[in-house]
Every structure is written in C-alpha cells, then in structure tokens.
C-alpha cells in the first residue's frame, strides 16, 4: 500500500476513535460540561493535560526549532516544562480546593468583584484565541502535505471533528478524547525518533543516543564541528544574550502556569492531593516528548546536512523535491554548478517567490534577489519532524503515523482552548455576570452554542491567518504571565491582596505587555525590533516576565492605600489553603 493510502487509513481510524469516545461520554450537566463532573482519575487527567498542552507547535515545530537554533531553543524546553512545577506547587491544589468551574470564577470570588471577573475573562479570551488560530493552521498544514487537500479543506475537516466532540461532550468528552490523542501523538513521535536514533547511533533510546558516539566522536561534538566548519555557531552554544534567555524562560514558565486551558484541567480531579499528583503525571507524559525533541532536532540537522550539502540537485533525495513542491524548500543555484551548497544566512531576500518555471536542473525557480553569502537552500524549520521519517528512509506507515500524530496534537489543544472560551462566556459572562436567573439547562445550551461559535471563529482564523497572529504566539504566554498568574498566586498566598490591588495589577501587567509586544511585532514598527531598542535587552518574547513584575508592584502599591480584604474573603482563603473538606463541584447551581 502506498503512503498516501496508509495516511488516509491512519488519520481516518483516529477520527473514528475520537468520535466513538465522544458518543460514549456525552455531557449531561453543566458540571460534566465544564469540569467532567470532577471525577477524572489523576493519571487520565495527566494524559489529557499533556495532550491539551502539547500543541501543533510542540509536535511539529519544536524539534525543528532545536535543530536550527541549538542551545538557544533551551528556553522552550525549560520554559514549557518548568511551568508545571509552579502549577503543582503554587496553583493547582488550591484551585482544586476552591472547587468551581473556571479561572475567572476564582478571580471573581477571591477578589469579590464582577470587574475582576470580567477582566479575567478578557485576558482569557485574548490568550486562548491567539493560541487557537495556530492549532487550526497546524491541522491544515498536515492535511495539505500528507493528504494533498487544500489547507482550507484541512481546516474545515478539523473544525468538524472538534465541533462534534467538544460541543457534544464538553470537558467530559474532551478529557477522554485527549487521553486517546495523547497515546496517538506520543506513539507517533517516539517511533520515528527511536528508529532514527538506532540508525545513527545504534542506541534505541533517543535521550541516550544524543550522548552516544558515531565513529568514536560524540554526536553533539560532531554536529558542533560540522556546523562550525560551515560557518554556523556551534549547536551547543547559543547566540542570545543571557538576560534575554533568562527573561524568555521565565515568561514561558510563568505563562504556562497561567494558561487557563491548562489550569482548568486540575478542576476535574476528585481531590486536592490528586491535583498535585496529576500535575506530576502530566509532566512525566510531557517530558517523554520534550526530552526526545532535542535528540530528534540534533539528528535531523546532521541528517539534513549530510544528505543535502554538496549534493547535486539531480541526485538529491526525493523528499527535497516533495517539500519544494509545496514551497517549504527552495533552491537557487548561485554558482551554476548544479550542486546544493548549504551555509549560514538566507539564500535570497524575503520569502520564496516561485516564478512557475523550472531551471536547467529541474528545480523550481524563484524570482527573489540572491544574497551575497554562499548558502543556496532555503528550508522551513517546521518540516523537520514531518520530513524526518522520509529523510531517514523509514517505511510508509511511519510517515502515516506522524501525520495522525500531528493532527491529534493540534486537535487536542484546539478542543481544550475552545472549552475554556465557551465556559468563560456561558458561565462567567452569562450566568455569573449578566443573566444570573438562567436555568442550568439554558446555561448548558449557551455553553454548547458558544463552543460552536468559537469553533467557527477559530476556523476562520485558521483559513485567513493574520500574518500578525503567526508572530505573536509569545503573546499568549506573555499575557498569561503578566495577568492571570500573579492574580491567582496573590489570591492564595497573600490574604492582604484586595480587589483594587488585583484589578489594577492585572490591567497594568496586561497593558504593559500588550503594548510592548504590539510595538515591536506590529508591521509598522518591524524595523525597530532589535536588541538595541529593547528595554534592558529583553525581546518581546520575554517581556511577559517584566509584565509580571509590573503586575505585582502595582497590585501591592494599590492594595496598601485601599480598603482591606473583607473578613469573609480572608476566611475563604484560609479554607482554600487546607485540603480537608474538598468537595466535587456542585452538580447544579
């Protein structure tokens, strides 16, 4: 059977599985819709959290980022895992003890204020929509590459599937589908990684293979030497400044802990102690992929250089042409020798503009102006994971498996995000703020309706991605770090933090971070985006950590000069701090 057919079968079978689970686990009450009734086993919740967390970016892009930026990519590895320590130690147990449905629920009750709740909803919606557009796009890319559908159709199919199980099953449906999706995606990630590690180093464990030797030389040393010979910086040393590395890592860690779709997963376990353990399991499941990614990245870079550099285009491996066909690889023969030369720097100015004609070697010609360096090949870093099985000559079913895994990663994250958006609209805005009189039935209908509406908006963003959004994934983390995380942390650990302080802190942190990112990332000021203009040398990606400091500073300053926290709220905080007496969320209210 050819790879194409196998891919249809794998992706189709995984869809059938997700739909089957959705039918089996329909939600009957708001509690089931929002938090799966609070009955999810900690290990199952750990898997669901891992799938929820690991997006198309983790699955498709991360190894590619590591491959092309080496040590500098450590910020993502540490940042996206270290946040779970903060979550498990500082937030999850207390939020579970609090025992409501959403993150704005906590902020609204703890700060005894509708304004605080609405500000939290606004933060949540901005964060979640920024994130979700990328997921839908990820589904589209996988479909277009492996199933040769237009990207738009890929997005529509993805929307249809998510629609079915998110709207029908709510959190309950999503949780059990995510467990299945985790299994699919981790299997799809590990199988090719193990194969490649075996091929290159003879060691089947990629984490150890990365430290193994090829021909008497450690892999990393060989990669460093190869790269330096070609004029790149060494793989194991970076080019970012220490302060920027520090700020980005901190913003990603704190942002991870403050992402609403991750936090809300810990509302679904039965007990406070389960919330702690569940965060541990989640990180184990995430670490399986995240410790594999550096190995995949390093092997891919080595493989790529060996199979492309100084290879005549005519005898280049088939995958070069396949990816060239969809525009993610481009070659321009600067010295007219018919041989591909690879080196640092962009081969030509800007994005590849294909003329539609082919050159003397059969390559797709581009009309871009050539640059002065000797590099002739443009490669999109996102193809590394997807192309890896082909680069390493693995069988067709591995390629098909990777396609199913990429779709699983994108769908699981999209569903989790859609759910927090719909819950914040139907529960926080409607039930708790504007229409308290509605019945549970109406609220459940509103939840399903807003999930459906959110899917349509997300799909539209996936089909028409504003170029701006693609660049601002950092926005989601920065905003979560600067707004929600400090508000929750102070709510638990500082009884003296009052309504005015928390609201002022959230608004200040959000506004400062948003302003800094928009300033440097918007098309109008793009020329400004460089270390010489950055505050303290901190890039927009890392500014969330400054936003967080601003949030804390403003909150404490304002709290000093405004009315103290009322005694019933102090009593509530005392109660949240001890695990005894945790109850499942109310079935109706």
Partner 1 sequence: MSASANEEENKKQYWRENVKLLCILLAVWFLVSFGAGIIFVDALNAFQVGGFPLGFWFAQQGSIVVFVILIFVYAARMKQIEKRLGVGDE
Chain residues 471-510 in contact with partner 1, contact rule CB under 8 A: none
Stretch in the footprint of partner 1 (CB under 8 A) among 16-24, 81-89, 158-166, 425-433: 81-89
Specify the DSSP class assigned to residue 564. Answer: P
Structure tokens given for 570: 């102090």
Chain residues 87-116 in contact with partner 1, contact rule CB under 8 A: 88-90, 93
Contact 509, 117 (CB under 8 A): no
Among residues 118, 120, 245, 320, the one that binds partner 1 under rule CB under 8 A: 245
What is the C-alpha to C-alpha distance for residues 328 and 522, in angstroms, rounded to an integer? 24
DSSP secondary structure string for all residues of 310-372: TEEGGGS-HHHHHHHHTTSEEE--TTSSSEE---SS-SBSSS--EEEEE-TTSPEEE-SPBPS
**Residue 210 C-beta: closest distance to partner 1, Å:** 7
Nearer CB in complex with partner 1: 78/339: 78
Among residues 2, 215, 216, 242, the one that binds partner 1 under rule CB under 8 A: 242
Query: How many Cβ atoms sit within 10 Å of the Cβ of residue 7?
Result: 24
x/- contact string, 156-195, with partner 1 (CB under 8 A)? ----------------------------------------
Nearer CB in complex with partner 1: 91/159: 91
**Residue 544 C-beta: closest distance to partner 1, Å:** 15
Contact 249, 12 (CB under 8 A): no
**Residue 571 C-beta: closest distance to partner 1, Å:** 12
Nearer CB in complex with partner 1: 141/298: 298
DSSP secondary structure string for all residues of 112-142: T-HHHHHHHHHHHHHHHHHHHHHHHHHHHHH
Does 211 engage in binding with partner 1 (CB under 8 A)? Answer: yes
x/- contact string, 570-589, with partner 1 (CB under 8 A)? ----x--xxxxxx-------
Does 450 engage in binding with partner 1 (CB under 8 A)? Answer: no
* Cα angle value 51/54/56 (rounded, 5°): 115
Among residues 81, 181, 413, 426, the one that binds partner 1 under rule CB under 8 A: 81
Stretch in the footprint of partner 1 (CB under 8 A) among 84-92, 301-309, 373-381, 406-414: 84-92
Q: How many residues form the binding site for partner 1 (CB under 8 A)?
A: 52
Does 215 engage in binding with partner 1 (CB under 8 A)? Answer: no
Chain residues 291-350 in contact with partner 1, contact rule CB under 8 A: 291, 294
Please list, in sequence order, all residues whose beta carbon lies within 8 angstroms of the beta carbon of residue 50, skipping any fewer than 6 positions away. Answer: 182, 186, 282, 285, 286, 289
Among residues 219, 409, 458, 480, the one that binds partner 1 under rule CB under 8 A: 219
**Residue 74 C-beta: closest distance to partner 1, Å:** 4
Nearer CB in complex with partner 1: 240/521: 240
Give the CB-side neighbour count of residue 401, counting CA atoms within 13 A.
Answer: 19
Structure tokens given for 150: 């237009």
Among residues 117, 276, 381, 432, the one that binds partner 1 under rule CB under 8 A: 276
The three-state secondary structure class of 377 is strand
Structure tokens given for 268: 């679904």
Beta bridge partners of 331: 377
Chain residues 19-78 in contact with partner 1, contact rule CB under 8 A: 66, 71, 73-74, 77-78
**Residue 244 C-beta: closest distance to partner 1, Å:** 10
Nearer CB in complex with partner 1: 155/283: 283
Does 208 engage in binding with partner 1 (CB under 8 A)? Answer: yes
What is the C-alpha to C-alpha distance for residues 299 and 220, in angstroms, rounded to an integer? 9
Q: Which of 4, 2, 99, 201 is nearest to 581 (CA)?
A: 99
Give the CB-side neighbour count of residue 202, counting CA atoms within 13 A.
Answer: 6
In the chain, % helix, strand, coil (3-state, to 5) comes to 70, 5, 25
Among residues 122, 218, 359, 471, the one that binds partner 1 under rule CB under 8 A: 218
Nearer CB in complex with partner 1: 283/383: 283
Does 207 engage in binding with partner 1 (CB under 8 A)? Answer: yes
Stretch in the footprint of partner 1 (CB under 8 A) among 170-178, 188-196, 276-284, 550-558: 276-284
Query: How many Cβ atoms sit within 10 Å of the Cβ of residue 532?
Result: 6
Q: Is beta strand 377-379 parallel, antiparallel or unpaired with respect to 213-214? A: unpaired
* Cα angle value 571/109/483 (rounded, 5°): 115
Query: Any alpha helices (H) in 435-498, and if so which ranges?
Result: 440-463, 467-471, 473-482, 484-493
**Residue 176 C-beta: closest distance to partner 1, Å:** 24
* Binding positions for partner 1, rule: CB under 8 A: 66, 71, 73-74, 77-78, 81-82, 84-85, 88-90, 93, 207-208, 210-213, 218-221, 236-237, 242, 245-246, 249-250, 253, 271-273, 276-277, 279-280, 283-284, 287, 290-291, 294, 574, 577-582
């Amino acid at each position: 059977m050819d790879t194409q057919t196998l891919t249809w079968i794998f992706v189709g079978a995984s869809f059938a599985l997700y739909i089957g689970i959705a039918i089996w686990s329909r939600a009957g009450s708001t509690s089931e819709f929002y938090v799966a009734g609070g009955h999810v086993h900690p290990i199952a919740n750990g898997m669901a959290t891992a799938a929820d967390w690991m997006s198309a970016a983790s699955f498709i892009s991360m190894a590619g980022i590591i491959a092309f930026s080496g040590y500098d990519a450590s910020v993502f590895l540490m940042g996206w895992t270290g946040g779970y320590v903060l979550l498990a130690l500082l937030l999850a147990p207390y939020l579970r003890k609090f025992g409501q449905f959403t993150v704005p629920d906590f902020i609204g009750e703890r700060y005894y204020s509708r304004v605080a709740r609405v500000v939290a909803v606004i933060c949540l919606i901005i964060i979640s929509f920024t994130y979700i557009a990328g997921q839908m796009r990820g589904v589209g890319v996988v479909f277009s590459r492996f199933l040769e559908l237009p990207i738009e159709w890929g997005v529509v199919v993805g929307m249809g599937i998510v629609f079915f199980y998110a709207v029908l099953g709510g959190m309950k449906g999503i949780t059990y589908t995510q467990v299945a999706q985790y299994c699919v995606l981790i299997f799809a990630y590990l199988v090719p990684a193990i194969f490649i590690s075996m091929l290159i180093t003879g060691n089947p464990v990629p984490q150890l293979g990365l430290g193994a030797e090829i021909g008497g030389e450690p892999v990393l040393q060989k990669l460093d030497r190869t790269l330096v010979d070609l004029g790149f910086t060494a793989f194991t040393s970076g080019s970012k400044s220490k302060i920027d590395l520090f700020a980005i890592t901190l913003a990603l860690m704190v942002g991870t802990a403050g992402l609403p779709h991750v936090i809300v997963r810990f509302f679904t376990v039965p007990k406070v102690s389960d919330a702690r353990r569940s965060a541990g399991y989640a990180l184990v499941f995430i670490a399986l992929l995240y410790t594999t990614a550096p190995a995949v990245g390093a092997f891919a870079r080595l493989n790529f250089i060996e199979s492309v550099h100084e290879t005549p285009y005519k005898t280049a491996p088939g995958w070069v042409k396949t990816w060239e066909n969809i525009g993610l690889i481009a070659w321009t023969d600067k010295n007219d020798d018919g041989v591909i030369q690879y080196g640092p720097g962009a081969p030509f100015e800007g994005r590849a503009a294909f003329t539609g004609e082919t050159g003397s070697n059969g390559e797709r010609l581009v009309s871009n102006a050539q640059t002065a360096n000797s590099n002739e090949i443009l490669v999109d870093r996102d193809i590394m994971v997807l192309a890896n099985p082909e680069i390493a000559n693995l069988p067709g079913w591995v390629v098909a498996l990777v396609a199913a895994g990429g779709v699983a990663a994108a769908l699981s994250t999209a569903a989790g995000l859609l759910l927090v958006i719909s819950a914040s609209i139907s529960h926080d805005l409607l039930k708790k703020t504007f229409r308290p009189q509605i019945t549970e039935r109406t609220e459940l209908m509103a939840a399903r309706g807003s999930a459906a509406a959110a899917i349509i908006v997300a799909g539209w963003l996936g089909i028409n991605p504003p170029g701006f959004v693609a660049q601002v994934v950092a926005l989601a983390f920065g905003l979560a770090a600067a707004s929600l995380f400090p508000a929750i942390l102070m709510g638990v650990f500082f009884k003296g933090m009052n309504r005015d302080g928390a609201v002022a802190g959230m608004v200040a942190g959000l506004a400062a971070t948003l302003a800094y990112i928009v300033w440097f990332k918007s098309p109008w000021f793009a020329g400004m985006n460089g270390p010489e203009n950055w505050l303290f040398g901190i890039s927009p990606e890392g500014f969330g950590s400054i936003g967080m400091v601003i949030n804390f500073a403003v909150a404490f300053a304002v709290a000093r000069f405004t009315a103290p926290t009322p005694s019933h709220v102090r009593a509530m905080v005392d109660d949240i701090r001890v695990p005894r007496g945790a109850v499942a969320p109310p079935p109706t209210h």
